[in-house]
Amino acid sequence: MKLLALMVALPLLTAFLLSVINSISTFAARWAGPVVLLVTAAIGLSAWPHLGDTPQAVQWGGFQAPLGITLYADQLALLFALAITIGALLLWPGRGEDRTEEHPDDHSRNRLRRASLALLLAGTGSGLALSGDLFNIYVFYELLTVVSYGLIAGRGTSGSFAATLRYLVISGFGAALALAGIALVYQAAGTLNLAQLAQLAPERLNNSQGFAAFVLMLIGFGVKAELFPVNFWVPEVYATASSRVSALLAGVVSKLALLIIMRLLILVFHQPEALTVLLVLGVLGVASGELAAWRARDVNRLLAFSSIGQLGVMFIALSIPGNAGVLAALAVAVHHLFLKPSMFLLAERWGGSIKGLAGAAKTSPLGAALFVLLALSLIGVPPLPGFWAKLLVIMPLLALDQPLYYFAAFIVLAAAALEANYLFRVVLTLYDKAPAATPHKAHATVDLATAVFLGAGLVAAVFMLAPLAERFDFIAAQATDVSTYIQTVAPLSLESGSVQ
């Protein structure tokens, strides 16, 4: 299973070589990116069944843990690595955009730049998902951040630069905090390998220092996961970046950050306070996001705020102790993974104020119908998948029988009611009679096709609920199995884990 490492290496390598390839053959440069992503996706998919029985660990550079670069792949990690790879492929930046005004020279240069950014995104994203130690996670995370700067600023408008700057500032702070957290962990445990940390955590990190480290890392990594106090970049960025970039960031990248926090929670930090912090921040995220979305005046911002709310729900789900929490977060995350990109793609041609969209359904009936479907699933109307995901979140919340969790359940439900209101205001506007003057742009075929593909995935899920639920259950169980993690990464050398 060393091949899995290629999921990280191959896209990164291709990205760096792309300009070289371009000087040899533009045709090769144009197709190299998608082909590489296809290959890596195939690698990932072929590895999927094997990981069902036993998770795999790969040591890079020939050193055993804790010294080498450890990649750890269970189905959870692979799921997200696949998500970013296939996501980058489907949402290949720059496609479907109107480029008639672009200079031909710029055109090919921009395409090259976007291609390498997409490859970098896939590579670093996969790396983030598969990494098995904190240092690598940090490195990949930073790389990912830099790639996203490039993507967001790619549109070249002043708005997008301003948004990027804001994002830059917050990310910088986040990175510093995360680093501080990692330092605290290292100071306490003397290692950054997650498997080793998992072993040492009960004695070394189950204290206030460990808790502080968790909070710092949570806020640090939370920047990308749209965690409440560090998500102020979200509305501006999504409103100004191209829809495909927003789709990637909101749909996929945010889930990667979530995955890291999930891993840290499962393996390292077991303090009940950690869960409380997550719960509180999650609730604040849901409340602030959904409330802000209620007054949003354009679709992109609306989706941005709503995605803050959705991520808040995932944090609430994560705050549920045990298997149920991971399962719930996973279900919501995967649902969101399909749904949000599709919505952002539809929003591509629905810019400007929501009021101006009146009659847009006439121009693109399929797009409007799909939007209705997505909206229904997002607010959780049975039998669409969103409903079952919501069920998985609320059932354990209520089962815990504690006031704070009851309150969280209430907030999730109330937020759904609010969501129904603002989403269907948009829907009704789409179907309203058009004022004669403004013709609406139809969706680019590729955007619409991708959105429909993702939407079809949601519908298909309705018919496979039982097997899907079983599979998610299994993935969650596998992910929460700490001893397997430890065994897989370093079967031998763990008792000699004192490095300092």
Partner 1 sequence: MTVLDFLLLIAAITVGVALLVGNRAGGGWLVTILYALQGTVLLLMSGLGYSTLAVVHSSVTFDILNQTLVWRFDALSWFFALITIGAGLFSSWFASGEWGERYRDSGGSLALFHFALALNVFSMLVLLASGDLLTLFIGWELVSWASFLIMALAGGKAFGYAMRYISYAFAGAMALLGGLLLIYAQLGSFDYLAVKESVPQLQTSTLWLLVVLFTAGFGVKMAILPFHLWQAKAYAETPGPGAAFLGAISSRMGLFAFIVVLVQLIGISRLAGLEVPFTFLDARDLLAWIAVFTTIIPTYIALRQHDARRLLAWHGVGQTGYMLLGIVIANDLGSAGGLMHIFNYATYQAMLFMAVVAVMHRTGTSDLNKLGGLFTRMPLSYIAMLVGIIGLAGLPPMNGFVSKLLVYRSLIVDGSPLLFLGAVIGTFGTILSVYKLIHNIFLGQLRVEHAAVREAPLSMVLPMMILAAVVFVTGYFPGLVLDWTSAVQRAIGMPVLAHHLGGMMSDQGGLDMIWINSILLAGFGIGTLVFLLGGRSRRVHQLDNYAGGHFLTAETRYHYSDNFYPGLMHLVGGWYRSSFEWLERGFVSTVDTLSTAMQGLYRNAHPSYLLLAAVVFALSWVIV
Binding site for partner 1 (CB under 8 A): 166, 169-170, 173-174, 177, 208-209, 211-212, 215-216, 219, 229-235, 287-289, 291-292, 294-296, 305, 376, 379, 381-383, 387-388, 390-391, 394-395, 398-399, 401, 409-410, 413-414, 416-418, 420-421, 424-425, 428, 431-433, 465-466, 469
User: How far apart are CB 39 and partner 1 at their closest, in Å?
Assistant: 37
User: How far apart are CB 413 and partner 1 at their closest, in Å?
Assistant: 4
Q: Which is nearer to partner 1, 124 or 377 (CB)?
A: 377
User: How far apart are CB 291 and partner 1 at their closest, in Å?
Assistant: 4
Phi and psi angles of residue 193, each rounded to the nearest 5 degrees, phi first: -70, 130
Q: Which is nearer to partner 1, 426 or 486 (CB)?
A: 426
User: How far apart are CB 216 and partner 1 at their closest, in Å?
Assistant: 7
Asked whether 435 and 446 are in contact (CB, 8 A), the reply is no
User: How far apart are CB 382 and partner 1 at their closest, in Å?
Assistant: 4
Lookup result for tokens 């603002």 = 422
Q: Which is nearer to partner 1, 24 or 466 (CB)?
A: 466
Q: Which residues contact 430 (CB under 8 A, 6 or more apart)?
A: 357, 358, 359, 360, 361, 368, 371
User: How far apart are CB 207 and partner 1 at their closest, in Å?
Assistant: 10
Q: Which is nearer to partner 1, 381 or 442 (CB)?
A: 381
Q: Which is nearer to partner 1, 192 or 379 (CB)?
A: 379
Q: Which is nearer to partner 1, 395 or 499 (CB)?
A: 395
User: How far apart are CB 187 and partner 1 at their closest, in Å?
Assistant: 13
